[in-house]
Amino acid sequence: DGGITQSPKYLFRKEGQNVTLSCEQNLNHDAMYWYRQDPGQGLRLIYYSQIVNDFQKGDIAEGYSVSREKKESFPLTVTSAQKNPTAFYLCASTGEPNQPQHFGDGTRLSIL
């Protein structure tokens, strides 16, 4: 079955450490997205990419970085510059304009 796979499901970061969250899709979708969700709150867009080797900042890109070297993959790095990284991170993709986004099951990041 086609879908979006996020890994790991849980991740712990030490102070001053960069960590990378994986997002892989086999839906042949062009566009991919990263969102951050804090407890009891909605989704905030971190980065998005419409095509390979291109990506744009979302509303809260500071302290994060991404790459899009392959159509299927859109990893998110949470850098040490992100001072409050504890959150639930969701990856999504979409294939056509005005079509809904498909979501992965999320990665929960915590600070040690």
Partner 1 sequence: GNSVTQMEGPVTLSEEAFLTINCTYTATGYPSLFWYVQYPGEGLQLLLKATKADDKGSNKGFEATYRKETTSFHLEKGSVQVSDSAVYFCALKTSYDKVIFGPGTSLSVIP
In the chain, % helix, strand, coil (3-state, to 5) comes to: 0, 50, 50
Nearest distance in Å: CB 22, partner 1: 14
What are the residues binding partner 1 (CB under 8 A)? Answer: 4, 6, 31, 33, 40-43, 45, 48, 50, 56, 58, 90, 92, 94, 97-106, 108
Q: How far is CA 17 from CA 4, 5, 93, in A?
A: 26, 24, 28
Residue whose CB is less far from partner 1, 23 or 78: 23
Nearest distance in Å: CB 96, partner 1: 8
Q: Using CA atoms, how far apart are residues 49 and 58, in angstroms rounded to an integer?
A: 10
Nearest distance in Å: CB 16, partner 1: 28
Residue whose CB is less far from partner 1, 79 or 103: 103
Helices (H) and strands (E) in the chain, counts: 0, 11
Residue whose CB is less far from partner 1, 18 or 99: 99
The answer to whether the beta carbons of residues 92 and 32 sit under 8 Å apart is: yes
Q: Using CA atoms, how far apart are residues 107 and 12, in angstroms rounded to an integer?
A: 10
Nearest distance in Å: CB 27, partner 1: 13
Residue whose CB is less far from partner 1, 66 or 90: 90
